[in-house]
Amino acid sequence: MISVLLADDQDLVRLGLRALFDATDGFLVAGEAADGLAAVAEARRTRPDVVLMDIRMPGIDGLEATRRIVSDPGLSRTRVVVLTTFEHDEYVFTALHAGASGFLLKNTKPPALLEAVRTVVDGGALLAPSVTRTLIREFTGSAPRARTPHPALHSLTDREREIVVLVAQGLSNHEIAARLTVSPATARTHVSRSMTKLGARDRAQLVVFAYQSGLG
């Protein structure tokens, strides 16, 4: 059973999300929060598998709430998916740097949202297609951000560095396996080892580390 915390200042949005998860086998709504501070408090109280986090909320916004949840040692197994109507560049990067495991727009279809939650619980990263394009455009544009190689980058093998590059390009384990002509299990093992060596919580943070290190 996957437990989900709903954090959004709009009652109707929370009501709709609750109806979706309540009607779907395998999900449990752990709680609700209408502002950022309440989201952090509820996350600490309920310890959900996933927090669906709005950005613009009273008190502290969803980005700061995400940062506090991710940095809490007692919530190391909780993943945050930012669910918002906005896809501005600064929100995308701030959310990922804060430790969010996904960034989706509120026009995401219900089946895709459910699959997104399952994906992050399984350790995957989830970005809306338009957000992925924004991320790639930012790091390959004419004025890229300063690159700061990860201090553990040297610990990666040549194959693991190659794998990290492919993860940063948005490829799934199955797509990586096909690209490198290896089994999906082998690809998954390389991704897992790379995450462990770099101290990445999940694939989203691995993507951030890759671009910061100049591997993207």
Give the pLDDT confidence of 102-153 residue by residue, as tens digits: 778 888 889 988 988 888 887 765 655 455 555 555 554 544 455 677 888 8
Give, in order, the Cα–Cα distances in Å from 182 to each of 119, 166, 189: 22, 14, 11
pLDDT at site 97: 76
pLDDT > 90 fraction of the chain, expressed in percent and rounded: 36
At 90 the pLDDT is 61
Which pLDDT tens digit goes with each residue over 12-31? Answer: 999 999 999 999 999 999 99
pTM: 0.68
Please report, in angstroms and rounded to a whole number, the separation of the first and last CA atoms in the chain.
35
User: Which domains are seen in the chain, by residue range?
Assistant: 2-138 (3.40.50.2300), 153-212 (1.10.10.10)
